[in-house]
Chains A and B, each alone.
Chain A
């Protein structure tokens, strides 16, 4: 097991290097950062000199090499826009994104799984049909639009919820949390629903089709024949066997939730990493873009690793396999 983890961690470094390489090869196409960093009256000489000082005149490989060497020492450089170390900015913004993502993932599962089970068991009830129709909306409407519609309804028309931001936050050491204040919780509702909706419908549809599959298998029929309670058959025997693909998808989706929080964060001006990134793209803030992309790659690798380890917990057959060795 330990060798497995170690191996994956080594692979993760390779993944991050590749992401950094691709990112750097794209940065030359995002535009010129200098004009965003100086006023209109700043002279040409000063602009040229600034570009030189930032090392933007160096060749691609020199810039990339410098980034890798610095990043290996934990130094992600200095944001052009904020004039602060990128690592500070990311540490400041990380809690907002993680809280939003985790709450969304939790919502998606807590609502998506029971809905999936229900629509599988009562396939023809009107509630199932309405769930299915609703899920179509969730899958097909873009996140941006859902966010705007929610803002319009609950923020502008009904005025129940704040339309932007994170509300009051409480500082717990370096972690800032919005989960402990009323305004923080209220602010979380719309963004987390917006972000969760797509995953929720995905999970629901996945659980439903897996359940339908499993219900037809012999061991479920056998469980029924043994006279086990219907509830036990549905939720323990059948559901457990649908879990492997669900865990894979949910796990991988957690990565996407964190990465695609960008859109939700910019619609709700949620002060997380995604918002930091999208503003960095607009301002050609290369150090932030590079650090963010590498960090997201790292998240994906770690989440995949955790998913692989969860398989073993859920599916005993894998355990026997690894114990037996090949």
Chain B
């Protein structure tokens, strides 16, 4: 009898042990860099915010199909043109057990405007946040804003009480002086994962939040370990050897290797990032060219000739291993405001390009320096090399200046007076809306409206600035789209930039896991599943 009980007990224990082992699902992943901070208002950067999104949550979020769905808010509506009302999800708790309430939302809005915050651009969308009751918040905007919920996707909510207890009521300041800022190294969100340990630049361990509000979450992961791996070769080896389950980005030239290796595969998809060329159309004389006393890029025929001289299909096939998508617009199909009908390109035609150059008085071409990053976009330097070779056919001699991103951006951006004559740049609108592209890249820079700050070539059509302001506040979607189309049409006719392609996302995944690849290159643990 005793023996039997003992045996039953033993069997019971074994079953239990077996069960818990089966439930423990560890997921390891690697990216080329680390999240720079755990402070959700410390840096407006894709990877950092994407990583934090596993721990913190905003009022809304994108689901696995990039549809905007409720996260901490259950519903929202534009009750007045300048008032968005968010109904908050009841019963949500932060990782430390505190209740999530409207007060936390108001606190987080105010935190966006503190000195160290890099999210002031989000703060500028908000005039005031008011807690109507515990679970209702009114966001008052300075002007009517139809896309505020989209712009809130990366605005994460922090617990007011936790921040006060840990003296983290202000965002982590890059300048320093607040070494103790608790929020930089610690996190207390409402998200599905809790930060268990973190050594910046080395390793971060997350464990599943057992009290997460969304009981239907797809992920079965109980423990997730993130390691930044900077070297491409090391990252590829880590994936193939099974030391990590997901690694990105993978060099596109390694896809074949990933396909032939056992147990892993490349995961490619179009990224919402458009790569384009631009030219200085503002200065009366180019800073880096042999043409003196005038600026050839002021002539639309020259810009058009450059456009028609570049063979994007060849760049796709030879440089991008067939994985880029040639683009005619400055926005990708995933971006709100994209129009398929307008995505056509001027045909590749060297003869036509030569003729245009001749008409413009540059039959013998000219010399110009091209600025290009060599570690920022997928095969960026090779794209520039290929473009330079193609432009040689219309007698333009391109002196390529390809540099590391810190040097490249240090040269061409506003702080250095836009010191470039011809350049390659890439852009993903952080709001996933065309307005961001128009106001950052296409609108005239240096005006009262303080927009166009990434319009490195100084392309300018004042009509576009007028339209930009209207697009910002137009709530009728059809009217808004018509205005966006009008801007893109003007920009295309004047060849303000040369859009090249959407670059591919390039991830490598183990066959043991299922993940969802988002076109903004974010990875969300909510949709990652370890297969049994």
Interface residues of A (CB under 8 A from B): 30-48, 50-51, 53-54, 77-78, 80-85, 88-89, 92, 148, 151-152, 155-156, 159, 162-165, 266-269, 271, 275-276, 278-279, 282-284
Contacts and interface: CB of A to CB of B under 8 A. Distances in A.
Interface stretch (B11-19, B211-219, B410-418, B485-493): B410-418
A286 B229 CA distance: 21
Contacts of A37: 43, 174
B251 to A, nearest CB: 14
A42 B123 CA distance: 11
A70 B231 CA distance: 34
Interface string B410-451: 100111100000000001001000001000100000000010
B56 to A, nearest CB: 16
A164 B238 contact: yes
A37 B43 CA distance: 7
Given A48-B415, A78-B176, A269-B227, A39 B407 contact: no
Contacts of A32: 406-407, 409-410, 413, 415-416
A47 B454 CA distance: 13
Contacts of B177: 78
B186 to A, nearest CB: 12
A53 B176 CA distance: 10
B234 A164 contact: yes
A83 B37 contact: yes
Prevailing SS type, chain B contact patch: loop
A43 B237 CA distance: 39
Interface string B450-469: 10011000000000000000
A159 B128 CA distance: 57
A82 B184 CA distance: 9
Contact of A47 (B45, B184, B414): B414
Contacts of A88: 179
B234 A163 contact: yes
B68 interface: no
22 contacts: A30-B407, A31-B404, A32-B410, A40-B44, A42-B118, A43-B450, A45-B450, A54-B175, A78-B179, A83-B36, A83-B181, A84-B184, A84-B200, A163-B243, A266-B230, A266-B234, A269-B227, A269-B229, A269-B234, A275-B230, A279-B201, A283-B406
Contacts, number: 164
Contact of B231 (A82, A155, A266): A266
A101 B250 CA distance: 30
A195 B410 CA distance: 35
A282 B406 contact: yes
Given A45-B450, A159-B242, A271-B199, 7 more contacts: A35-B409, A35-B413, A40-B45, A41-B44, A44-B453, A83-B37, A165-B227
A279 B230 contact: yes
Interface string B204-239: 000000000000000000000001111101100110
B229 to A, nearest CB: 5
Nearest to A154: B241
Contacts of A164: 227, 229, 234, 237-238, 243
Contact of B43 (A31, A39, A284): A39
A83 B173 CA distance: 7
A46 B123 CA distance: 13
Contacts of B66: none
B270 interface: no
A38 B116 CA distance: 11
A18 B440 CA distance: 44
A42 B230 contact: no
A278 B375 CA distance: 15
Contacts of B200: 82, 84, 89
Nearest to A162: B243
A307 to B, nearest CB: 33
Contacts of A34: 415
B237 A84 contact: no
A261 to B, nearest CB: 15
B175 A53 contact: yes
Contacts of B36: 81-83
Contacts of B453: 43-44
A162 to B, nearest CB: 6
B16 to A, nearest CB: 26
A55 B242 CA distance: 45
Contact of B44 (A38, A54, A82, A83): A38
A40 B436 CA distance: 11
B414 A44 contact: yes
Given A42-B120, A269-B231, A84 B179 contact: yes
Per CB-CB distance, the 3 closest pairs between chain A and chain B, nearest first, are: A39-B44, A32-B410, A31-B406
A296 to B, nearest CB: 19
B406 A30 contact: yes
Given A41-B44, A77-B176, A156 B237 contact: yes
A284 B39 CA distance: 21
Contact of B230 (A36, A77, A165, A269): A269
B167 to A, nearest CB: 15
A37 B229 CA distance: 20
B415 A41 contact: no
A33 B44 contact: no
A222 B36 CA distance: 68
Given A83-B42, A269-B230, A46 B176 contact: no
Given A42-B118, A83-B176, A156 B241 contact: yes
A48 to B, nearest CB: 7
B122 to A, nearest CB: 8
A53 B427 CA distance: 28
B172 interface: yes
Nearest to A41: B121
Contacts of A267: 231, 233-234
Nearest to A50: B174
B24 interface: no
Contacts of B323: none
Contacts of B430: 39-41
B202 interface: yes
A44 B417 CA distance: 11
B401 interface: no
B185 interface: yes
Contacts of B415: 32, 34, 44, 47-48, 51
B240 interface: yes
Contacts of A41: 44, 121, 430, 436, 440
Interface string B164-207: 00000000111111010100110000000000000111110000
Contacts of A266: 230-231, 234
Contacts of A47: 414-415
- Most A CB contacts (10 A, CB to CB) among B36, B403, B430 go to B36
Nearest to A51: B415
Contacts of A269: 227-231, 234, 238
A98 B415 CA distance: 40
A40 B270 CA distance: 21
B201 A82 contact: yes
B176 A152 contact: no
Contacts of B237: 148, 151-152, 155-156, 163-164
A83 to B, nearest CB: 5
Contacts of B413: 32, 35
Nearest to B179: A85
